[in-house]
Amino acid sequence: MTSHGWITDVLILLPLAGGLLVWLVPMPRVWIAPTALLIAPNEGHQWNALARVLHKANVELEWFEKYANGRAYAWEKAPSS
């Protein structure tokens, strides 16, 4: 672990008809970004509650914009009923 976060490779799993395609992508050792684990009550691997799905998407998009594109991200709001 570094002072900025973990240095790790990325594992990509793609479900295919008849099997699973797996790639292990080594990350460049000069690119380090913080990581987080999102856990929601009563949600498994696939989140279903729309408010939580929107929150998770906003967290992921904000991270990507900040660390991959160097830009700020404005969170999307849930439509009002």
Q: Residues 14-27: pLDDT tens digits?
A: 666 666 666 666 65
**Residue 73 Cα distances to 10, 62, 79, angstroms:** 24, 5, 18
* 13-64 residue pLDDT tens: 666 666 666 666 665 655 567 888 888 888 888 889 998 999 989 999 999 8
Please report whether residue 1 resides in a domain.
no
Please choose, from the candidates 27, 39, 38, 46, the residue with its C-alpha nearest in 3D space to the C-alpha of residue 63. Answer: 38
Q: Give the total number of structural domains in the chain.
A: 1
Please report whether residue 2 resides in a domain.
no
The position carrying tokens 């799993």 is 13
The position carrying tokens 């240095």 is 7
Please report whether residue 49 resides in a domain.
yes
Please report whether residue 65 resides in a domain.
yes
The range of the structural domain enclosing residue 40 comes to: 10-69
* 65-80 residue pLDDT tens: 998 888 999 999 988 8
Please report whether residue 53 resides in a domain.
yes
Please report whether residue 63 resides in a domain.
yes
Percentage above 70 pLDDT, the chain:
59
Please report whether residue 80 resides in a domain.
no
Please report whether residue 78 resides in a domain.
no
Which DSSP helix (H) or strand (E) runs through 16? strand 10-16
